[in-house]
Amino acid sequence: MNYPKKFDKCPCCGSTKTIIAEETEEQIVLGKLPEGSRIPALVTQSQIINMQDKKLIIARRSFPMILGFCDICSDCGTLYCVEVQRATGIIEPRVGGSPSGGNTSEPQFPFGKG
């Protein structure tokens, strides 16, 4: 699949205006945010990983992730995905992990682009 995937219209009403993007643009024009700033209303992250793979918690391993950036339609209020990107997550082994050896590692930010 090719990324990023962009969805530039509200799936409900067809509007191309979104609230967070417009507010962000206003703040950029006012000089309160740097050029190119991007603030999503919501980011979803799907880790494409086999959580049963015990090797993942022993070594620092990377795995693909899919990030979905959502915004809110200015005209009808629908929250929808405006862009999907591929990224790379990394599992950091936890120092001084639990004595039971349970899986306590979680993906850590920041994610690199995939």
Which residues in this chain contact Zn ion in the complex, by CB under 5 A?
A: 10, 12-13, 15, 73, 75-76, 78
Q: If 0-12 CB within 10 Å is exposed, 13-18 middle and 19+ buried, where does residue 99 land? A: exposed
Which residue matches tokens 């959580």? 51
| Distance from C-alpha of 15 to C-alpha of 70, rounded to nearest angstrom | 15
* Residue 6 Cβ vs Zn ion, minimum distance, rounded to whole Å: 16
> Residues 39, 19: contact at Cβ < 8 Å?
no
* Residue 9 Cβ vs Zn ion, minimum distance, rounded to whole Å: 8
* Residue 82 Cβ vs Zn ion, minimum distance, rounded to whole Å: 12
Q: Which is nearer to Zn ion, 13 or 58 (CB)?
A: 13
CA 19 to chain centre: 18
Q: Which is nearer to Zn ion, 65 or 69 (CB)?
A: 69
Q: Which is nearer to Zn ion, 23 or 75 (CB)?
A: 75
